[in-house]
């Protein structure tokens, strides 16, 4: 019996609970204690300081409220457009005087700065969105009591432009611009309102347009741009002429480095600031022009800093260049290396600082539409991969400056290329070879490969001279001649005494080595070439070339020449002293016959 009655009991309970819920909802609606769940805000009054308006405006939906405000403003009927504003935060006695002013200010900012998505504005009294495609961030099928049209900035503080649905007593709810939005109208107008010039322009200039810009905006940009660039050009010419005529030695070089970037900096900075002060243009197109001018200004300032660092380094290194060219002053080469590496590092840091300042002014990832890459991990990995070659070469430059394996002006031998280290750049070094070539070697590759530095400690250098002479050559006579030649040469630095030694003995000749020294590798090379030529001429003329290298052959018993015969089996003859000695060579026999 209980089982049969249970469906009836359950249905009765369901009906009773539904009725109770309805009563509670009505009670909450009448008292307003549960206003969060209502699709409107209950207020005691709305714009009670304004007189009734006939015919009344249409504020039944968000789209209707915005259309009423825009159409009335375009007709210059700002008192009617102001009925779409919630003026409850304005004292009642001041509402009649403020309604038209606030509506006009809001319309100017609204027209210049906001891009209204009319298709996304609901046209239902309850503000309900029927399709998610109309407003992806909205709840589909849920009544709404507030709607955000857009967001503007006042001193980096976001100001939402919102509509809200309000209900006064038993009247139907209406949609109006929220009281908080109305409270910020004056601040928004100060931030985005017309400039002093725009306030005095005629109506035809304000109404005429050229694309997305009004005619007066285009003319104003052209005029300000021309004046700003002309001012920058005048600054450049005046500064260059002033520095060239100045009596100081440093001013001549400064006139070639500073005027051009300084003139561009003045021109772009003046254009940017005049645009903000005089024109104060707004709108989507100006949203690209102002950032572009700011980027150009920062770029010109960065270039100015880089050129200033370059000039300062060249000015400081100028006293050491003469000493470095002679390869004699080791301290000059060391200081010049420090200055060069410091210049490269400071220029690179100036570039990074300028880039950082430029990027800090904008939401770069939102502008480029790559917000998926905005996470710190992805950005850091991408930056590390992209900057690895630059950073590695920068570290190599610092390594050269600190450890001093090579200095500017050093004589080096790198992979068969002998020359002098001429320059150290951000990513490579320049080797000036003896045959007037320039070999560019990446810094990382240069430090990873072995190379010879002939002047790392001292530019003094010893060069050997090798001669092949006959065994009968009197080495003492050759030594005396070499000493005489060395004393008569202006390239000899007298740091190393004349040395002539027999360093090898072959089958037919002996090797004689002579050592000469000079104050630097270039002089050592020229000295050893000159002495070698002179020694060769001396050996050629000595006893009609008797001591030049000779090739000897022995004759076997049948009279044929054999160079491959075993010397132990060669025929021998007994001399006058009874000793056995080899058969004379062809040259010896000829000389004996002549004698």
- Each domain of the chain, given as residue ranges in start order, spans 42-130+138-193, 213-362, 411-453, 461-545, 561-594
pLDDT at 164: 92
- List the structure tokens of 440: 């560019």
pLDDT at 220: 77
Burial 11-21 (b: 16+ CB within 10 A, else e): eeeeeeeeeee
Q: Return left, alpha or beta for 416; rule: phi > 0 is left, psi -120 to 50 is alpha, else beta.
A: left
Burial 472-494 (b: 16+ CB within 10 A, else e): ebeeeebbebbeebbeeeebbbe
Residues of the chain short of pLDDT 70, as ranges, are 1-38, 130-141, 195-214, 279-287, 321-330, 333, 361-391, 393-394, 397-398, 401-404, 426, 456-458, 556-595
Neighbours of 64 (CB within 10 A): 19
pLDDT at 243: 83
Q: How many residues does the chain have?
A: 595
Q: 392, exposed or middle or buried, with CB in 10 Å at 0-12, 13-18, 19+?
A: middle
218 in Cβ contact with 210 (< 8 Å): yes
pLDDT at 578: 45
List of residues 6+ apart from 567 with CB closer than 8 A: 554, 582
Strands 561-562, 554-555: pairing is: antiparallel
CA nearest neighbour of 475 among 445, 510, 447, 506: 510
How far is the CA of 145 from the CAs of 87, 171, 173, 175, 310, in angstroms?
Answer: 18, 16, 10, 9, 63
Q: State how far the Cα of 144 lies from the Cα of 128, in Å rounded to an integer.
A: 6
pLDDT at 102: 93
With H, G, I as helix, E, B as strand and everything else as coil, classify residue 499.
strand
With H, G, I as helix, E, B as strand and everything else as coil, classify residue 353.
helix
pLDDT at 384: 52
Give residue-wise pLDDT tens across range 266-280.
999 998 888 777 766
Domains 411-453 and 461-545 share a fold: no
How far is the CA of 100 from the CAs of 59, 63, 106, 190, 306, in angstroms?
Answer: 18, 21, 10, 17, 54
pLDDT at 381: 52
pLDDT at 363: 54
List of residues 6+ apart from 370 with CB closer than 8 A: none
pLDDT at 72: 92
pLDDT at 222: 85
164 beta partners: 146, 176
pLDDT at 324: 47
Looking at domain 461-545, which CATH architecture does it have? Answer: 2-Layer Sandwich (3.30)
CA nearest neighbour of 236 among 214, 265, 200: 265
Could you tell me the fold of the domain covering 411-453? SH3 type barrels. (2.30.30)
């Amino acid at each position: 019996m209980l089982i049969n009655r249970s469906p009836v009991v359950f249905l009765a309970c369901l009906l009773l609970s539904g009725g109770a819920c309805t009563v509670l909802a009505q009670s909450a609606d009448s008292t307003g204690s549960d206003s969060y769940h209502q699709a409107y805000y209950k207020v005691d009054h709305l714009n009670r300081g304004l007189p009734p308006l006939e015919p009344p405006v249409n504020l039944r939906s968000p789209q209707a409220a915005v259309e009423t405000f825009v159409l009335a403003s375009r007709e210059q009927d700002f008192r009617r457009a102001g009925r779409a504003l919630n003026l409850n935060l304005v004292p009642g006695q001041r509402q009649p005087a403020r309604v038209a002013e606030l509506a006009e200010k809001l319309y100017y900012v609204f027209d210049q700065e906001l891009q209204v998505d009319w298709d996304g504005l609901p046209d239902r009294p309850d503000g309900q969105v029927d399709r998610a495609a109309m407003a992806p961030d909205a709840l589909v099928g849920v009544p709404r009591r507030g709607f955000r049209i857009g967001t503007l900035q006042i001193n980096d503080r976001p100001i939402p432009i919102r509509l809200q649905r309000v209900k006064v007593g038993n009247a139907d709810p209406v949609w109006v611009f929220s009281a908080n939005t109305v409270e910020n109208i004056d601040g928004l107008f100060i931030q985005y309102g017309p400039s002093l010039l725009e306030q005095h322009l005629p109506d035809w200039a304000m109404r005429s347009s050229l694309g997305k810009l009004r005619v007066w905006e285009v003319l104003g940009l052209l005029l300000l741009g021309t004046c700003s660039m002309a001012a920058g050009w005048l600054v450049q010419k005046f500064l260059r002429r002033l520095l060239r005529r100045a009596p100081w030695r440093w001013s001549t070089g400064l006139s070639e480095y500073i005027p051009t970037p300084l003139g561009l900096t003045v021109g772009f900075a003046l254009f940017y600031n005049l645009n903000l002060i005089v024109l104060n243009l707004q709108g989507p197109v100006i949203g690209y022009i102002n950032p572009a001018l700011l980027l150009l200004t920062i770029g010109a300032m960065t270039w100015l800093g880089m050129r200033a660092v370059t000039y300062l380094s060249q000015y400081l290194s100028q006293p050491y260049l003469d000493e470095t060219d002679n390869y004699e002053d080791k301290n000059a080469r060391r200081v010049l290396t420090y200055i060069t590496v410091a210049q490269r590092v400071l220029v690179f840091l100036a570039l990074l600082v300028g880039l950082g300042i430029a990027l800090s002014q904008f939401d770069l990832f939102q502008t480029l539409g790559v917000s998926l890459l905005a996470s710190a991990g992805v950005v850091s990995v991408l930056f590390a991969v992209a900057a690895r070659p630059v950073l590695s070469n920068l570290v190599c430059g610092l390594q050269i400056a600190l450890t001093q394996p090579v200095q500017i002006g050093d004589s080096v031998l790198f992979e068969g290329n002998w020359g002098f280290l001429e320059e150290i750049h951000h990513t490579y070094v320049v080797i000036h070879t003896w045959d007037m070539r320039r070999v560019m070697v990446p810094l990382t590759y240069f430090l990873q490969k072995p190379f010879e530095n002939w002047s790392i400690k001292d530019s003094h250098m010893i060069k050997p001279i090798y001669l092949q002479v006959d065994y009968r050559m009197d080495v003492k006579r050759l030594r005396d001649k070499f000493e005489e030649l060395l004393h008569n040469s202006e390239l000899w630095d007298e740091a190393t005494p004349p040395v002539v030694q027999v360093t090898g003995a072959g089958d037919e000749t002996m090797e004689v080595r002579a050592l000469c020294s000079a104050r630097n590798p270039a002089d050592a090379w020229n000295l050893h070439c000159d002495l070698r030529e002179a020694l060769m001429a001396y050996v050629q003329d000595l006893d009609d070339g008797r001591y030049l290298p000779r090739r000897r052959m022995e004759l076997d018993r049948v009279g044929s020449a054999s160079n491959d015969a075993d010397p132990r089996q060669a025929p021998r003859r007994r001399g006058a002293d009874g000793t056995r000695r080899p058969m004379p060579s062809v040259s010896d026999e000829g000389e004996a016959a002549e004698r």
